[in-house]
C-alpha cells in the first residue's frame, strides 16, 4: 500500500511539473525566481478575459455593485477577517523602512555584507489581499439597506504557498459575487451559485464536480475548524481533474457561506437589527484558464467553436 501511495505521489508531482514546463515552454506563463509566482503572456490574459466574459454573463449584471480594490488592503480590515488566526502560513504583510539615516546606513552595510536586511523594516499599514471579497466588508460596517447588498468584486489575492503545481499560484485573481443580508439571503446565494457555477464551467467545456470542502486551516486548532466547516457544509468547491486520477481534482470555483462571521467582525447589521450574514462565490480565473488549457490543449485556436464563441464573441 505504502509503496503504491508513494509511487502515485511521485507520478502526481511529475504530472504537475510536466504541465508547468509545457506552460512555460509555450510562453503562456513567465517563470520568476520564486516558485508559484508567474508572469502572464498576452495570450494567457486573453483567455482570462474570455473566461471573465462568460462569468459576467452568468452573473447578476447591473443588480450588483461593482467594486475593485488594489492588491493590498488595510491591516485594520485584515484584522477583522480573522485570517491570521486560521491561515498565518498563507499571509503576506507589507513591511517598509521608516528609520533614521543612521539605521539606513546599518541596513546598507548589512546588505553589502550579503546579510539579511529585513530586520530594519517594520510593518506598514497594509496587507496583501487574502481573498478578493475581504477588502469589501469594511465599506458596509453599520446598517445594511433594505434587501442587503449584492457585490461584484474582482481582484488579485495572495497565498504564500510555493508549489510546482501551476494551479497553486501565490498570486492569482478571483472574480467574486458577494451577498450581504439575512441568513436566508446568504444561504440562498451560496446554494444558487453551486448550480450556476457548474453551468458556467460546463459552458467552457469543463467537466466539473461539486464537492464539500474544507480550508487548509493552520495547526491543531485548525483541524477542528476544518471539521466544523465540513460538518456545517459551509464551503462547496467545484473541482476539475487536471491530473486525471492522480489526485481528487483542482478547485476552480468556491461557494462559501460565512454565516454571521464578517457581519460580526465588521459590525454589519440588517435593517431588522440582526447581525448580517454573508456568502460569496469566487471564480479562480487562473485555475479555470489552466483547466481549459489542460482540457482543450495549449493551442487556443483549436479549442471547440462553441467554447471560443462564448469567450470571444
- Are 28 and 284 in contact by the 8 Å Cβ rule? The answer is no
| Structure letter (DSSP) for residue 101 | H
Min. distance of Cβ 282 from Zn ion in angstroms? 5
- Cβ proximity to Zn ion: between 176 and 215 the closer is 176
Q: Scan for cell 517598509, then name that residue.
A: 96
| Residues numbered 252-281 forming contacts with Zn ion, rule: CB under 5 A | 280
Min. distance of Cβ 258 from Zn ion in angstroms? 8
Q: Site size for Zn ion, by CB under 5 A?
A: 4
Look up residue 3 and give its three cell numbers: 509503496
Question: Is residue 293 within the footprint of Zn ion (CB under 5 A)?
Answer: no
Q: How far apart are the first and last CA of the chain?
A: 50
Region for 161 from its dihedrals, namely left if φ exceeds 0, alpha if ψ lies in -120 to 50, beta otherwise? beta
The residue range among 135-143, 163-171, 172-180, 218-226 that interacts with Zn ion, by the rule CB under 5 A, is 172-180
| Residues numbered 108-137 forming contacts with Zn ion, rule: CB under 5 A | 131, 133
- Cβ proximity to Zn ion: between 58 and 164 the closer is 58
- Cβ proximity to Zn ion: between 257 and 280 the closer is 280
C-alpha torsion angle, residues 39, 40, 42, 47 (rounded to 10): -170
Question: How crowded is residue 242: how many other Cβ atoms within 10 Å of its Cβ?
Answer: 22
Min. distance of Cβ 132 from Zn ion in angstroms? 6
Question: How crowded is residue 139: how many other Cβ atoms within 10 Å of its Cβ?
Answer: 16
Min. distance of Cβ 133 from Zn ion in angstroms? 3
Min. distance of Cβ 73 from Zn ion in angstroms? 13
Q: Sign of the CA dihedral 229, 235, 238, 242? A: negative
3-state helix, strand, coil split of the chain in percent (to 5) is 45, 25, 30
For residue 93, how far is the Cα from the chain centroid? 17
The residue range among 1-9, 103-111, 141-149, 169-177 that interacts with Zn ion, by the rule CB under 5 A, is 169-177
Min. distance of Cβ 256 from Zn ion in angstroms? 6
| Residues numbered 203-242 forming contacts with Zn ion, rule: CB under 5 A | none
- Cβ proximity to Zn ion: between 128 and 280 the closer is 280
| Residues numbered 173-202 forming contacts with Zn ion, rule: CB under 5 A | 176
Residues at the site binding Zn ion, with contacts judged by CB under 5 A: 131, 133, 176, 280
Amino acid at each position: 500500500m505504502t509503496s503504491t501511495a508513494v509511487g502515485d505521489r511521485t507520478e502526481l508531482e511529475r504530472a504537475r511539473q510536466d504541465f508547468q514546463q509545457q506552460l512555460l515552454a509555450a510562453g503562456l506563463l513567465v517563470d520568476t525566481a520564486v516558485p508559484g509566482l508567474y508572469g502572464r503572456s498576452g495570450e494567457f490574459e486573453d483567455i482570462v478575459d474570455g473566461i471573465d466574459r462568460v462569468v459576467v454573463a452568468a452573473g447578476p449584471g447591473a443588480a450588483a455593485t461593482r467594486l475593485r480594490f488594489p492588491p493590498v488592503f488595510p491591516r485594520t480590515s485584515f484584522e477583522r477577517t480573522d485570517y491570521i488566526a486560521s491561515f498565518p502560513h498563507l499571509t503576506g504583510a507589507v513591511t517598509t523602512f521608516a528609520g533614521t539615516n543612521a539605521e539606513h546606513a546599518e541596513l546598507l552595510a548589512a546588505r553589502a555584507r550579503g546579510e539579511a536586511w529585513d530586520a530594519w523594516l517594520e510593518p506598514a499599514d497594509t496587507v496583501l489581499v487574502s481573498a478578493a471579497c475581504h477588502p469589501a466588508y469594511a465599506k458596509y460596517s453599520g446598517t445594511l439597506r433594505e434587501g442587503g447588498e449584492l457585490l461584484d468584486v474582482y481582484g488579485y489575492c495572495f497565498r504564500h504557498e510555493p508549489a510546482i503545481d501551476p494551479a497553486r499560484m501565490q498570486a492569482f485573481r478571483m472574480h467574486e459575487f458577494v451577498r450581504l443580508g439575512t441568513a436566508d439571503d446568504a444561504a440562498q446565494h451560496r446554494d444558487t451559485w453551486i448550480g450556476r457555477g457548474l453551468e458556467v464551467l460546463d459552458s467552457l467545456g469543463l467537466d466539473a464536480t461539486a464537492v464539500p470542502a474544507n480550508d487548509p486551516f493552520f495547526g491543531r486548532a485548525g483541524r477542528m475548524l476544518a471539521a466544523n466547516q465540513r460538518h456545517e457544509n459551509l464551503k462547496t468547491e467545484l473541482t476539475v481533474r487536471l491530473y486525471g486520477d492522480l489526485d481528487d481534482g483542482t478547485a476552480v470555483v468556491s461557494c462559501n457561506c460565512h454565516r454571521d462571521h464578517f457581519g460580526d467582525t465588521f459590525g454589519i447589521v440588517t435593517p431588522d437589527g440582526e447581525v448580517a450574514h454573508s456568502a460569496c462565490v469566487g471564480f479562480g480565473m487562473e485555475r479555470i484558464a489552466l483547466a481549459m488549457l489542460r482540457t482543450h490543449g495549449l493551442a487556443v485556436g483549436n479549442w471547440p467553436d462553441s467554447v471560443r464563441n462564448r469567450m470571444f464573441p
